[in-house]
Amino acid sequence: MTRPLRLAAAALAASAALLLTSCGSDDDKPKDDDKIAGADQGGEKSPSPSEDAEAGAEVDRPKIELPSDLSFTFDWAKTGDKAKDAVLADREQAIQAVDLAIAEHAPTHKAVRFYYEGDAAANTQKYVQAYVKAEARTTGAYRYYDATVTADGSGAGLTYCEDQSKAYDKYLKKDKVDKGPATKNSYVLYAAKLRKNDAGVWVTTELNATRGSDKCQP
């Protein structure tokens, strides 16, 4: 995932494969095409909006409860295809899982382990750890749009845009929000790879990001 900027340098130092982003637009932003991927399974009960269409059974999912000052808008309609809609729904949960881990200062949060796997999980944990070290978290509003999804058997691909123009880093000790002006780099294009695990959950295995992509500009 990509997230606010000021902590990007610290997190990228911890893991060059992990992309952090921000609503702002300075030259200290992470470079294009950095990667993230993610984790195993685990977690407390909670229904998912994916409706477990492809799993054919109920799945125990981690509950995603975010701070009231943090919001996510997913401006993509259902495709009418059960597999593709499940991919979109599980990716929504995966996106929010990272911010939940940040908010709770828990690098190995069960929600991250549930929706990410492999090396990406380790990278995500390093990313969250950067926020823990800085005593900070994300705040503001994220918007996602222009999604294109393909699904074939147990594999899927997803591209989409993220609007970070109203998302920021919040430093808890100082109770300060690090705001910056929106620029071209506030808009990020993602290309994700997912796989359906044995529980029927679409987990993110790879995520490439291109900051300032022309495709995502308002």
pLDDT of the residue at 126: 84
Proportion of the chain above pLDDT 90, given as a percent: 57
Contacts of 50 (CB under 8 A, 6+ apart): 85, 86, 89, 90, 93, 201, 202
Q: Radius of gyration over alpha carbons of the chain, in Å?
A: 16
For the full predicted model, state whether its pTM sits above 0.85: no
DSSP state, residue 38: B
Tens of pLDDT along 124-140? 888 889 899 989 999 99
170 pairs with which residues across the strands?
137, 177
Q: What span, in angstroms and rounded, lies between the C-alpha atoms of 39 and 7?
A: 22
CB atoms within 10 A of CB 142: 24
Among candidates 46, 101, 95, 98, which has minimal Cα distance to 74?
Answer: 95
For 174, phi then psi, to 5°, come to: -95, -5
For 161, phi then psi, to 5°, come to: -110, 150
pLDDT of the residue at 57: 54
